[in-house]
Amino acid sequence: MKPPRAQFTSRRGPMYDAAILAHVIGIIINQSTRNCAGEMTIDPAKFIEEKCGRYARGKHAGQLRGWATWTYVLHGGWTIDGPGAGNGHVVRPGQFISLVVADFNGNPYFTL
């Protein structure tokens, strides 16, 4: 009997929205590396600011540019990494998979 397959879901939102920005900063804090003392090696807000930039004019002038898309596991199970036997692993429900912040055309500012 084959193991049940995992199901993934993605969410997307504009970076100028305060709730989306807070969620993206939270993801970066959870996924970033820390030094020996347990301190973060980057400042997430500064990192986002330098990668995305801000709108210069228009309706959202002065706010962050970009759209964030994050993917996570909806229902846990087996996922395949590539062709062949043994190229897969188990993922758990709620597990973070990826974060992409891109411009309106889909060109990524950064990925995680």
Q: Who's near 19: CB < 8 A, 6+ residues apart?
A: 13
Give per-residue pLDDT as tens, 69-112. Answer: 999 999 999 898 888 877 888 999 999 999 999 988 888 888 88
Q: Does residue 74 lie in a domain region?
A: yes
Q: Does residue 100 lie in a domain region?
A: yes
Q: Does residue 88 lie in a domain region?
A: yes
Q: Cα–Cα distance between 3 and 41 in angstroms, integer?
A: 39
pTM: predicted TM-score of the whole model, two decimal places: 0.79
Tally the domains of the chain: 1
Q: Does residue 2 lie in a domain region?
A: no
Q: Does residue 22 lie in a domain region?
A: yes
Give per-residue pLDDT as tens, 19-43. Answer: 999 999 888 888 876 767 777 777 8
User: Range with the lowest mean pLDDT among 12-16, 50-54, 61-65, 98-102?
Assistant: 50-54
Q: Does residue 40 lie in a domain region?
A: yes
Domain that holds residue 104: 7-111
